[in-house]
Structure 1
């Protein structure tokens, strides 16, 4: 399986938190308190950096990717 690190569905947890309208530490706090909310393979820590997928964010927030709305509006 090839992974494209330029995929916009893979993002820094702090940036993802802000995209979904939460504090920068939202993903880290949520993972520490309830790791089972994240689908398998949707979050990972690399050194000190947390990386999360769109799927993971949608699972913990219950909100679809807000960037999709921006794309629809721009068209």
Structure 2
């Protein structure tokens, strides 16, 4: 049995993902419904009515790096100064 750490920040629901990337929740759901093949294998899953998506999945469909990674990198660079 595969164990998944649901406390991992790289696993989020569609609403959280949309908020992090500055998109509408509808965008995420629409992309899942229209082009599920564009998501890397294992990066999306539906639990009941709730879609769960990984950071990898969001980066794949948006073409943008996780904004949290960019913020952490910027913060680390500022700390080095």
Q: Max radius of gyration: which structure?
A: 2
Q: Same fold (TM over 0.5)?
A: yes
Q: Which residue of 2 aligns with 1:73?
A: 74
TM-score scaled by length of structure 2:
0.84
Q: Which ranges in structure 2 are unaligned for 5 or more consecutive residues?
A: 77-81
Q: Which residue of 2 aligns with 1:62?
A: 63
TM-score scaled by length of structure 1:
0.90
Kindly indicate whether residue 43 of structure 2 is the aligned counterpart of residue 42 of structure 1: yes
1-side partners of 2:49 and 2:8: how far apart? 21
Q: Which ranges in structure 1 are unaligned for 5 or more consecutive residues?
A: none
Say what the alpha-carbon RMSD is for the aligned residues.
1.1
Detail structure 1 runs of 4+ shifted over 2 Å in the superposition: 72-75
Question: 1:70 deviation in Å?
Answer: 1.7
- Greater per-residue helix proportion: 2
After superposition, residues 17-36 of structure 1 pair within 5 angstroms as 17-36=18-37
1-side partners of 2:41 and 2:74: how far apart? 32
